[in-house]
Chains A and B, each alone.
Chain A
Amino acid sequence: MEDLKALYEAIIAGDAKTSKTVTEKALAAKVEPLKLVTDYMIPAMSEVGRRFECNEYFVPELLLAARAMKAALEPIRPLLVASGVQPAARVVIGTVKGDLHDIGKNLVASMLEGGGFEVVDLGVNVSPEQFIAKVKEKNANVVALSALLTTTMPAMKTTIDALKQAGVRNQVKVLIGGAPVTQKYADEIGADGYGETAAGAVALAKKALAIA
């Protein structure tokens, strides 16, 4: 369908107005909401991510694209909820204690939401106790941790240890990410997965949860 490519283009161009109107038109024409997400929105964000990695896009372009994706998700969200489709999993996401950076975390949250997950975003500077409380309250199965500073990365380990202490470690898959974070660090601290890009978040979460 011609129109749907316009959704892909609008997200890449950071055009929130167009991404929303194209989505609304498509939904009115009875296009499946999830098809819009998986066939157009997620690939668009993947391309945005690729351009960011290649240094063609900088933070402003990334933010505008994310905003366009969020705008397109707005009309879709209530339909997903109303359809009774169960979320793929419940995610609690946050930037760890001492760290106030949130661009990456916000991108991952959007991607996961678009990917059919129920996402609770605790914001920034989140203590282990806050993560634990929300995991228990929501019966979450994924905890996603973000850190941008080498000095706050250790809080990821503290959070994982606290999850163990609280007896909820086995209930969740812990996924981590952020500029200074590496697979090696993830292995060292016992995380279940490490994501290098926001675009890969959905695939990573599904892999960690062993769901299709």
Chain B
Amino acid sequence: MTDGAWGTELQARGLGIGELPDAWNLSHPERVAEVASAYVNAGSRVILTNTFGANRIRLGDHSLAKRAVEINRAGVEISLRVAQGRARVFASIGPTGKMLMVGETTEEEMRAAFQEQATALAQAGADAIVVETMSDLAEAQIAVAAVRTTGLPVVACMVFDSGKDKDRTMMGTTPEQAAAALTAAGADVVGANCGQGIAGFTGICRRLRAATDRPIWLKPNAGLPQIVNGRAQYATTPEEFARHVPELIEAGASFIGGCCGTRPDFIKAICQRIKENP
């Protein structure tokens, strides 16, 4: 049982739209700790860290590139302090936001950014690292390689939300291609997160499962956001979300959690569901 969304939870605690969540590790660590705590108490056995955007390239968009190491360390420390052995801490690494294909960044710059981040996360004591929400296979491979240098286990997952059947990444990568390439790159766990909502995840899970011998990690969204009165609302309820979980486990998932729009009550509902369907 992993955790749910952090971004939307931090927004509920005052994080502004467009404001970088990772900076709160330095400015509002107590609120970040609240989110971590809520997930541990809801039953998460693995929690992540508020470091999704904390690579120097992404931080550069917010003039925080020089504080990358600090922000990553703080993120791991907050999660470790809250978890206190009740849950594992897997540190989050998200995309740089720049596209290799159009030359917005180079492989070397990307490698250096992920290397800096992975090293800081490992040194701060994370149990493992999750390379998540990747759309570009090349970027994912670079991130996985960087994490591998730390010796920590690495989870690698991508977003499958494009194509006629919403089963490819934005760049056109299929679950089969992703599973094969990420396994070859040395990922210990392979998976899918974010996307169009939980309904499509069973199919994606089966296809990942068939294409790799690694355990499968899934963190679907609570549906797509709708703007209601200027705020983003997610349509899927905890109960609806949890209803899909037994199917996902049967399809081969080893790690389950939620992405955007999910909250601690989603985790509780999933735990409840799993208890009822052992």
* Nearest CB on A from B65, distance (A): 15
Asked whether B164 lies within 8 Å of A63 as measured between CB atoms, the reply is no
Asked whether A55 lies within 8 Å of B227 as measured between CB atoms, the reply is no
Asked whether A98 lies within 8 Å of B17 as measured between CB atoms, the reply is yes
Is there a chain A Cβ closer than 8 Å to B203's Cβ? no
Is there a chain B Cβ closer than 8 Å to A150's Cβ? yes
Measured between beta carbons, the chain B residues less than 8 angstroms from A98 are: 17-18
Is there a chain B Cβ closer than 8 Å to A197's Cβ? no
Measured between beta carbons, the chain A residues less than 8 angstroms from B227 are: 150, 153-154, 180
Q: In whole angstroms, how far apart are the Cα atoms of A58 and B171 in the complex?
A: 6
Secondary structure dominating the interface of B: loop
Asked whether A150 lies within 8 Å of B172 as measured between CB atoms, the reply is no
Q: In whole angstroms, how far apart are the Cα atoms of A30 and B202 in the complex?
A: 58
Q: In whole angstroms, how far apart are the Cα atoms of A97 and B168 in the complex?
A: 29
Measured between beta carbons, the chain A residues less than 8 angstroms from B12 are: none
Is there a chain B Cβ closer than 8 Å to A165's Cβ? no
Asked whether A55 lies within 8 Å of B164 as measured between CB atoms, the reply is yes
Measured between beta carbons, the chain A residues less than 8 angstroms from B164 are: 54-55
How many residues from B make CB contacts under 8 Å with A?
Answer: 19
* Nearest CB on B from A49, distance (A): 15
* Nearest CB on B from A123, distance (A): 12
Is there a chain A Cβ closer than 8 Å to B276's Cβ? no
Measured between beta carbons, the chain A residues less than 8 angstroms from B17 are: 98, 151-152
Closest to B225 in A: A150
Asked whether B101 lies within 8 Å of A55 as measured between CB atoms, the reply is no
Contact with A along B71-109 (1 / 0, CB 8 A): 000000000000000000000000001010110000000
Closest to B19 in A: A98
Which listed residue (B170, B171, B232) contacts A151, Cβ 8 A?
A: B232
* Nearest CB on A from B195, distance (A): 14
Closest to B16 in A: A98
Is there a chain B Cβ closer than 8 Å to A100's Cβ? yes
Is there a chain B Cβ closer than 8 Å to A59's Cβ? yes
Which listed residue (B97, B99, B226, B230) contacts A154, Cβ 8 A?
A: B230
- Offer 15 A-B interface pairs, CB within 8 angstroms, sorted by A: A55-B162, A55-B163, A58-B172, A59-B171, A59-B172, A60-B172, A63-B99, A63-B102, A125-B61, A150-B227, A151-B17, A151-B225, A152-B18, A154-B230, A180-B227
